[in-house]
Structure 1
Amino acid sequence: MEREITEVYCGNGKGKTTLAVGRGLRFAIQGKSVIIIQFLKGRERRELDFLEELDNFDFKIFRFEKMDTCYNDLSEQEKAEERTNILNGLNFARKVIATRECDFLLLDEILGLMDKGIAPVETIIDMLKQKDESMHIIMTGCWLPDALKPYVDSITTITTELTDQERE
């Protein structure tokens, strides 16, 4: 069996989720099981739901947030309520890794949990320490803490540079 790796797609550019989902589709086409857990996007993001309806593929998407609105657009009170739901999603991710429930796990926007103070970096490190060599994990978000780098095999940074016209 080939050793699977842990990857990170980070940066301020667009397309991190799309790139990661594409990698997940490649796994699904090879007959492997895929789980996507989305964080901080709210329940409004439904553009990936069609993937669960593809026949002959083991492709599951989970969102634990209850509000339709993206986390950044919530009031402080709503954010406090959603933190509990987000932490439930994090616990589910930990269980998926510990029980080796899938071949490919996408933790979409998980890096934002640390950036927003929802989960400490140690929580994510503890999760990654449970990973065995049979599971491929991709984590996305804008910022990768230095403390996570020793637990990651590949880092892809996607950035957006403004043109001179956009700067003006």
Structure 2
Amino acid sequence: MSKKVVQVYYGQGKGKTTAAVGQCIRAASLGQEVIIIQFLKGKDAEEFCFLNKLEPDIKLFRFEKAHEFYCDLSDEERIEEKKNILNGFNFARKVIDTGECDVLVLDEVLGLVDYGIITLEDIIKLIELKDDYSKLVLTGQNMPDELVNYVDLISKIEPIKQ
């Protein structure tokens, strides 16, 4: 298998998830297995539910139970949702460890660091787990400088006009 590629889409602009999904569609069209795990979007993030129609080539997972975005939850709701989010992150580890797919997208995973749900070290350990995938795509609003040496491609998406 070729060397793994770790790619990041980050920034304040819209389109990070869309860019990552584009990578997924390209990979699926080449016969690769793709898994997307979304974080911090709330259970009702319907914008990419059409991906369910692309199963089994592209599999979409969300572990959150709340209908609202994480930042809109009460403190008590956040405690419960954090458990669900950590289940999703642990699932990502399992996917990499078992070589379950060729392309793994962790949508808004960088936001988990921003909210203190996981650490930057957790992401680095995830990247270093195993080489049994060809591409790992991470998205989020912020790109920590400490992560740069672990990533092959970085794309910043920012609004020019709103």
Q: Normalising by structure 2, what TM-score? A: 0.94
Specify the alignment match of 1:54 in structure 2: 54
Rounded to whole Å, the distance in 1 between the matches of 2:152 and 2:132 is 12
Greater mean deviation of Cα atoms: 147-156 or 125-134: 125-134
Partner deviation per Cα, 1:88-137 (whole Å, 9 max, x = no partner): 00000011111111000000000000011010111111110013164201
Secondary structure of the residue that 2:52 maps to in structure 1?
helix
Work out which of the two has the higher radius of gyration on C-alpha atoms and give 1 or 2.
1
Count of residues paired in the alignment = 162
Superposed displacement of residue 59, structure 1: 1.0
Aligned structure 1 segments of 4 or more residues deviating by more than 4 angstroms: none
Residue deviations 1:39-62 (CA, integer Å, cap 9, x gap) = 00011112222222237x511000
**Matches of 1:48 and 1:100, distance apart in 2:** 24
Q: Indicate conservation of the 8 Å contact 1:111/1:139, yes or no.
A: yes
Per the alignment, residue 153 of structure 2 pairs with 154
The answer for unaligned runs of 5 or more in structure 1 is: none
Query: Separation in 2 of the partners of 1:84 and 1:114?
Result: 15
Residue identity over aligned pairs, in percent, reads 52
Letter in 2 for 1:44: D
Q: Does 1:42 align with 2:42?
A: yes
Conserved in 1, the CA contact under 8 Å of 2:101 and 2:133? Answer: no
**Aligned-partner residue type, residue 154 of structure 1:** L
SS in 1 for 2:146: helix
Question: Counterparts in 2 of 1:1-168, with a 5 A limit?
Answer: 1-54=1-54, 58-132=57-131, 134-162=133-161
Amino acid at match of 2:94: K
CA drift of 1:12 comes to 0.6
SS at match of 1:21: helix
Task: Name the aligned partner's letter for residue 138 of structure 1.
Answer: V
